[in-house]
Structure formats: structure tokens, C-alpha cells
Chain A
Amino acid sequence: MNVRFAFRMVRREGRATGRRLGLHMLAIAVGVGALVAINSFRRDLERSVREQARTILGSDLELRHNQPFPDSVRAVLDSAAAAGVPVSYATSFGSMALAPSSGRTRLVQVRAIAGAYPYYGGLTTQPPERWLSFRDGPRALVDPAVLIQLELAVGDVVRLGDVGFTVAGAVTDYPGQVSLQSAIGPRIYIPLDQLEATNLIRRGSRAFYEANLKIDDATALRRFLYRHTKLFERHQVSWDTVDETEDELTDAFDTLARFLGLVGLAALLLGGVGVASAIHVYVKSRLETVAVLRCLGARQSTVSAIYLLQAARLGVLGAALGVIFGLVVQALLPRVLAEFLPFDVVPRFHPGAVLEGFALGALVALLFALLPLLAVRNVPPLRAIRRDTDATPRRRDPWWFAAGLALAAAVGFVSVRQAPEPAIGVGFAATIAVTTLLLTLTGLGLMSATRRFFPSRAAYVVRQGVANLFRPRNQTLAVTLALGFGVFLIATLYVVQHTLLRQFRLDARPDRPNLVLFDIQRDQLAGVRALLADRRLPVLQQTPIVPARIHALNGRTVDEILNAAGAYRYERWALRREYRHTYRDTVVASEQVVEGTWFGARPRRTEGTDSVPEISIEQEIARDLNLTLGDRITWNVQGVLLETRITSIRTVNWARFEPNFFVVFQPGALEDAPQMSIVLTRGDDVTARALFQRDLVERFPNVAAIDLTLVQRTVDTVIGRVTLAIRFMALFSIVSGVIILIGALATSRQQRLREAILLTTLGARGRQVRAILLTEYAALGALGGLTGVLLAGASGWLAARFVFDVPFRPPIAALAAFWIGSATLSTVIGALTGRELARKPPLEVLRSLSE
């Protein structure tokens, strides 16, 4: 091999090919940019979490419980406080807030606090310095969103339960708070010693209890935990330290970043397809040159090296450009994702991420170029003097298999490396491979079909355009592959996004509830129903809720089970958690009995061995508890033990927005147990709903109301911002895809122009030539696009079924739009190509093609 000559030829050839291949270099750059940006950002996140984990937590140790801390735990905390450890307490729960001045109500997160928490990190109030000073008496600090939504000002009163709190200011910055949180559940902070007076915490109320400790000596903290871990576990008190917070956040962001990285990888692979297409056409245009070089004495290895180096140059330049692009995007990402981050992120230069993106981009470009480059090896020198001499393809060329294998292995490797889990990476790579195969078959099928079913009776321009699809030197395969792949990737992203976002769309049909009232105590139920009747609001559903815990399974207590040898077979959380049961005789729409028989209206037996109440259990919780039909659960229903028997197992569609339960009791067992109720109602008039909620809060302050239209609006806001972040990353794939689409069609432009010039010279009118081009390009766009959207639908189904486990309904209208869009894009390029002819003399166009 004459290496020096090869390099020299690369430099010389590069003068002419820069413009032609520049577009495809850009596609590589977009993909590399996406990967460099997201992988660098991932490292920025890890660093920020590491540096700021303590300020995110706000303390060194946080304890959490869904009931008031047991006396034994409280004793530990008091002892720590007595020893000089700063301890803060907080009780959080949802409640209705009423602004008497405006009459507006809103479901808020109440946080009753005591102590100097947060011990780390910034907290700012407006007016300043109010955090500790507001706690003397019934005063509150609120999220700025509360001021806006309840039309309050500092100094106004906000009612929580039986107490009116004077607004002392707004909390504008709180440790670990994601700014999006205020859209979901804005907070009101009140002094802990004022909580009891509000009368909001009743039997069965959902509240969360926190204790935050400042133990900044790591050894002392470890000692503290070591001493008390078993006590905490026994009472289901969970805890977080800075290290655990750091790990959880790192894992969460790592997973998110890797998913987004797959999108970037898709953009890069798309760029690779574009490179393959461009090199394919480039090599075809160089076959004469290759033959001449062979004639003049160049060895095959030298000639192959020239074009391999050319492809490598394309990849290296594209990757280098991509790195610059990626660093710019990395700086923008913190702003795009600011609402989802509980801390500040400072972009930094990460050599590892940059080198990895650069190497990947260059490698992908080279590997995708390898297959079309192999054609250079088969050019006979005889072609220099006899133009009709075709290349002699070698049967079972080992290089062809090696190149294909290298490409497949590289795609698989980078997919697995980038994905959150290897299985997802393998699935991603397999999808790419299947798509490529199907698109290739589609291209071949189109050529075969048009040849077989040639429209011989159609007009000349149509015949000529269709003939271009299968005659020698056609671009059908390359364009179908590139265009179809681009449409597939872009449409798949949309389908997956649409499928996920659909889960958050609430059912807005006229017969569905739009107002949910919960935490209604037994003695309040009649009053609430009367109020509803007074406001002419129907009771669509009334559901009793009875809290209970598992005492024993089949005669073995929870402690016995957890201390026995087979404890690993049980999900600990399922054994220890508090359950909320209901009782009814009907199966609701979100359930389906899959085993056993529903007790229905069957009366409860009161004698004999089967006299225990029957229950129906949800399928997955039954699996977590290793239970089956006939098994018995003994419940602790607020101090009273009640044995039950499983007579049916259900599946539950948790995505449906209505009360769903792990366990449903047969009627007749829980009616006398302490309980509260949920009532679902519907009011179409916004004012009537608002007035009802105001009256409800005034008469029953502990009863919370969720206005589902407000929830939907909030969900839309949150989803809108999530969508923006996803679409920002998806933009890379879209840009790459559009470049490839344009490039794939443009690479065939030269050849089409030459032919069109010949036709013009022979007497064809401009209109006829344009029609020929339009026919061909429209056919390519339509078929490539159709294959792409069909594959996108299939991969969307796969993702919904096996990755996200959500129902799938294809967005037909959007997919049709993608199809029409790709066909239109292809046709427009055909039209622009034809227009170029009409404006210039043939020789002028020929000269411009030669340059």
C-alpha cells in the first residue's frame, strides 16, 4: 500500500467533495452533539448531586413515618435533643385552604414545622428573615403560587381547618424543592404548635411525620444509626442520610440521562445511515477514477485506502464539529431542565464524555461507510478503456461479512452502553436492525413490484418516472432506507411520547366525576350529602375507607414471617404497610376477577369453618404476599383483629382515576369499623363548583376536595414542561433526520439532472421533465414514509407493552401526518430539482454539475 499517495489523494479529493459530503458531515455532527451534551450533562448532574446532596436534604438525617412517631422512637429523638443534637419536626398533609377575602379555595400541602430546619442550604422568604420569626402565633408562610391562586397578599388571612392564619410572607426558595412542585401541590407552612387547633388531623387522615437531625460528624451519625436501626425498622420508620440521598438522586438522574442519551444515539445512527447513503453515491461517481488509478499502477489496497481515509476524514470532521455543538447544548440544558432539578447545575468540561462522543461519531461514520466502500475493491482496471465493464462482485466476500458484522457489533455495543439497562439496549439495537432489514426489503420490493406491474398504459411522464425506480443506477434502495429510517425514528419518538402522555389524560366524559371529596368522617357524611343535594350536585359514587394493617397470614404473625428462614420470599413493605380497605358487593369498571368467584350479594356465613368474612385481593399484592385462593389474612383494624379468607383475586387498572383497592371486603364485615368516606360528584358549572367548595370548607374544614379540571390543568402544565424537555432532546433526532432526508434525495439529484438535461436536449418540455421527477420522488417518499410510520407504530407498541407497561393506542392522525409529510418533502425536493432545469440552459447546468 502506498500510504503517502493515499493521503495525498485524500487531500486532493477533499477539495471537491467537501461541499457534497458536508451535509452528511452535519448529520454526524448533530448526533455527536446530542451524545456529548447529554453525557456531559449527566456528569454535571452527578457532580452537582455530590456537592449539594447535603443542601438538598437540609439535614444529616431525615426520619419519616406515616403516623405519629411511636413513643420509643420519640424517646430516642428527645434523648438526642437533650444531648445537644439539633432536632426539627414537621407534619405534612393535604388540606383545603380558604381565602375568606376572595372566597377562593385550593387543595394545598400543609407543612407544620418546629425547629431550625433546614440546617444546610439556602432558604429565602419574602419579606426576608421571616422563617424563624413567623412562628409566634397563628401565622403562615406560603408558596408564591398560593398567593396567586387564592388572591392573597401578605397580611391577609388564610383558613386552614378551624384556624385563620395571617400570611406573614412567601417562601421563595426551599432546600431540595423542585420549582415544578408548586404547580402540583403548593405549600403553606404553619407552626407545629398550631396544628392541633386546626382540627385537621383526624382518624384515618393521611399525614406524614418527619424528624430532621443535624449530626455533622460522620462517625457519630453512623453510630446513631447502628444503635437505632432495628427500632426504626420495627416501627416502619424510614430514614435518609446524605449518602442515600446522593445515591437515589444519582440513580434517578442517571436513568433519565441514559434514556435521553438513547435519543441522541438514534440521531447518531441516523447520521451513519446518511453517511452510508452519501458514500454509496460518492463511490459510484468515482468508479472511473478508481479504474484509471488501477490502470496507472495503483494497488487495490492503495485505492481502498484513499476512500476509506476520505470516509474517516468525514467522520472525524463531523465528530469534531459535533463536539463543539454538544458543548454549546450542554450549557443550555440546565436552563431547559431547571424546573425539574432541586439544585443548581454548573456546566463543566468533561474530557471523558467529549472523547467518548468524538470517538463514537468517527467510528459510526467509518463503519457505516465500510459497506458501500467495499465496492471500490471490485472495480476492474479494464473499465478505464471499456465503460460497460461492470464491477465483478465476489461471491461470499469475507470482507462484506466482516464489515457487516463489525457494524452490527458496534451498534449493539454502543446501544447497550448508553441504555439504562442492557436489556433495553439490546432491544434498541434489535429494533434498529429489524427496521433496516424491513426497509431494505421494502426498497427491493418496490423495485420488483414496479418492474412487474409496470403501468405501461400510463402517460409517458409517469412511465418514465416509475421506470427510474428500478432501472440500473437507481437510488431506490438508498433513498428508501435513509428516508424510511428518518421517518421511523422521528415517528417512534412521537408515538412513545404520545402513549406515555395519554396516561395522564383524565377521562372528561359527561358521566365521569370531576370533583372528589375525601376524608369525610362518618358523622359528617349525612351533612356532606345534604350540602351536595342543596347545590344540586349528584353523588356518583360513595366509597367507605377503613384503614388496617396485616397482623398475620395463615396464622403466622408478620414478625414470625419476617424472622423465619423464608422471609426473603415476602415483600417487606407489603407486610408492614397500612392498607385502606373498602366493602361492596359489586365489581367496578377498573377491576376484573381472574381467579375464584366474586362474593357479590352472597350473604356472609356466620357459622362453620367458612364463617370468616370473604375478601377479594389484587393480583400483584397477592403475589408479593405469597397468597392464593383460600389463604387467610388476619387484619388489625385499629386495634381489633379480624380474620378473613381470600375467595377471589382481581386485576386492577390503577391508571383509571377512581378509588381502587388492594383488598375489597364482603359486605357485613367492616360496617361498624372506624372509617371515613370518599364521595365522587360532578358539577359542570365552574362557579357552582367553586361555591360548593367554599361552603364545604367552611362547614367541614377537614374534608378535602380535588377539582379534577384543576388537576387536569396542573397535569397539562407539568406534562407540557416534561414534553418540552423530551422534545428538546428529540430535536436532535429530528434535525438529523431532516438532514438525512434532504441529503438522501439530494445525492440522487445530480444523476437526475444529467438525465433531465438529455431529455431537454432531445426536446422534452420543462413541464414534462418536472412531471417525471415528481413521479419518481413522490413514489420514493410515499413508500419510504409509509414503511417508516408502520414500523414506528410497531415499535411504539413494543415500547408500551414491554418497557413502560401501559396501554397502547396508535395516534393514527399523527402517523398519517408523518407519512404525508415525508412524501411531501420528497416531492418538494423533486419539484425544486426540476425547477432548476427550467431556469438555466442545459450546458450551464452541466458545467455546474462538473464543478
Chain B
Amino acid sequence: MIVAEHLEQTYLSGGRPLTVLHDINLTVEPQGFVAVVGPSGSGKTTLLGLLAGLDRPTRGTVRLDGQDLAALSEDDRAAFRADRVGFVFQTFQLIPTLTALENVLVPLELKRGGAAGEDQRRAHDLLARVGLGERSHHYPTQLSGGEQQRVGVARAFANRPKILFADEPTGSLDAETGHGVIDLLVELNREARTTMILVTHDPALAARARRVVRLSAGAVIADEPSAS
């Protein structure tokens, strides 16, 4: 499902080149569940961005579901994401001017462009599934952090993605709330049979995955099945 070969990413910082990823090679099988762990500054988020097609690598290639992302334009990659990718963000990234229901509808509307009855039902079902069926008309500012992230999770699964990227999904939550969100995420992922890449610095969270890739200073130092 995901094949990254010889990935390298270099930025200009203060006028000098800074290489944050060195020769990363990674393959993820369909329905795989991989956790990418490492200390702050190890390049986890950068790797996630490259794998999701949000950025272009300095060197190397990324293939998602057989598609070479470098061959696509910016708009085509966006369309690709609308069709096949879901995201869960660390800071929830709900659109503040939309209700919970409308936030969940966004991927569906982008994919199909219509507020078909089917889409509305799916969005309602997802919200109910994450326990927020009664809060569908509330705005993000009216929801707690945990509730916002659950809306984010519902949104991520709305377009039935083949691949789900979760960037520190519990990073802005307390431990108990975070566990609840992760339980939900893992459960939905299992049901949807999605390939999931989870970026985290929390070892306990990483243990929930089937495979753990460790990064340090921009390089993979370990790639092994999860202890659990």
C-alpha cells in the first residue's frame, strides 16, 4: 500500500541546508498498522507529510496505493487524498465555522460534491458511532478537546479511506481522554480495514500498533513488530 524508497528531505534553515530525513526506506502492507515513534525533532512529522503527499521529498520516491506521488500535480494529489486518504491531526484541525456534522461532511462533499442523502446519513452515523450523535449541530468551540478529536476521527473515516494518517492524535489530550480516542480510532480502523500510519512519541500508544518504526535524527534505527 505504501512504498517509500531512499527518501531524503532537506530544508533551508537560516540560509543553511538542514537534512531532517536520511535515506528512509519503508514498505507498509495493505491493512497494516504502523506506529512511527521517536523523540521530538527526529523527523516523524516530516516523514508523515511526505508519505501523505503533503510535501515533496528532496530525493526518493513515495508510492501510495500504487501511485507515484511525484508524478501528480498539487491538485491531483489533493484529489488523490480526497479519494483515498484520511487524516487525524494533533490539534484536531476542525474548521471553526462549521458544525460537527458539517466538519464530518467535508471529505464526502469534496469527493462527490453533493450533499446526497446517503452522505448525510453516513455523517450522522459516524458521529453517533463516536458518541456525539446529539452534538452534531455544535461548533468546535462548544466541544471539549476530546470531543473535538472524536469529531476529527469521524471525519477521517467519512470518505472510507484506504490509508489513514494520524499525527500525534492524543498529543493535545489528557491521558484518559487520549486512551478513549485511541480505542475508538483502533476500533474504527479495524472495522474499515484501513492501512494506518500513527505518529507518536508515546511508547504505550505505539504498542497498540502491529509494527513500530523508530526514528532518530532523521534515520530509521529500528523497524520491528510491536511487542504487544
Contacts and interface: CB of A to CB of B under 8 A. Distances in A.
A293 B90 CA distance: 16
A709 interface: no
A4 B81 contact: no
Interface of A: 2-5, 8, 12-13, 15-17, 288-289, 292-302, 380-382, 384-386, 847, 850-851
Contact of B55 (A2, A5, A298, A382): A382
A299 B102 CA distance: 18
A300 B74 CA distance: 8
Contact of A380 (B45, B55, B113): B55
Nearest to B55: A382
A-B interface, 3 closest residue pairs, ranked by CB to CB distance from nearest: A297-B82, A16-B97, A382-B54
A2 B54 CA distance: 20
B95 A289 contact: yes
Contacts of B78: 294, 297-300, 381
B87 A2 contact: no
B80 to A, nearest CB: 8
A12 B102 contact: yes
B97 A12 contact: yes
A601 to B, nearest CB: 83
A505 to B, nearest CB: 58
Majority secondary structure, A binding face? helix
Interface in B168-205: none
B113 A2 contact: yes
Given A16-B96, A299-B75, A850-B141, A385 B107 contact: no
A384 B79 contact: no
A5 B54 contact: no
Contacts of A296: 81-82, 87, 106-107, 110, 155
B49 interface: yes
Nearest to A296: B107
Given A12-B98, A289-B96, A297-B110, A847 B141 contact: yes
A288 B74 CA distance: 18
Contacts of B98: 12
B83 interface: yes
A380 B54 contact: yes
Considering residues A2, A382, A385, which has the most beta carbons from chain B within 10 angstroms of its beta carbon? A385
A292 B95 contact: yes
Given A296-B110, A297-B78, 7 more contacts: A2-B113, A292-B95, A295-B81, A300-B75, A300-B78, A380-B55, A850-B141
Interface string B83-100: 101010110010111100
Contacts of A2: 109-110, 113
Contacts of B93: 288, 292, 295, 384
B1 interface: no
A2 B110 CA distance: 7
A5 B75 CA distance: 16
A377 to B, nearest CB: 10
27 contacts: A2-B109, A2-B110, A5-B109, A8-B115, A12-B102, A16-B96, A17-B97, A289-B95, A292-B95, A293-B95, A294-B78, A295-B54, A295-B81, A296-B87, A296-B107, A297-B107, A299-B75, A299-B79, A380-B55, A381-B78, A385-B45, A385-B48, A385-B90, A386-B45, A850-B96, A850-B141, A851-B141
Contacts of B82: 296-298
A521 to B, nearest CB: 87
Contacts of A847: 141
A36 B226 CA distance: 73
B225 interface: no
Contact of B111 (A13, A297, A384, A386): A297
Contacts of A302: 110
Contact of B54 (A17, A299, A381, A850): A381
A300 B55 CA distance: 15
A576 B77 CA distance: 83
Contact of B97 (A15, A295, A380, A384): A15
Contacts of A295: 52, 54, 81, 87, 93
B156 to A, nearest CB: 9
B141 A385 contact: no
Given A5-B109, A16-B97, A385-B49, A297 B79 contact: yes
B131 interface: no
Contacts of B113: 2-5
A295 B166 CA distance: 13
B12 to A, nearest CB: 12
B137 to A, nearest CB: 12
A293 B106 contact: yes
B8 interface: no
Nearest to A851: B141
Nearest to A385: B167
A2 B102 CA distance: 16
Given A296-B110, A300-B75, A382 B95 contact: no
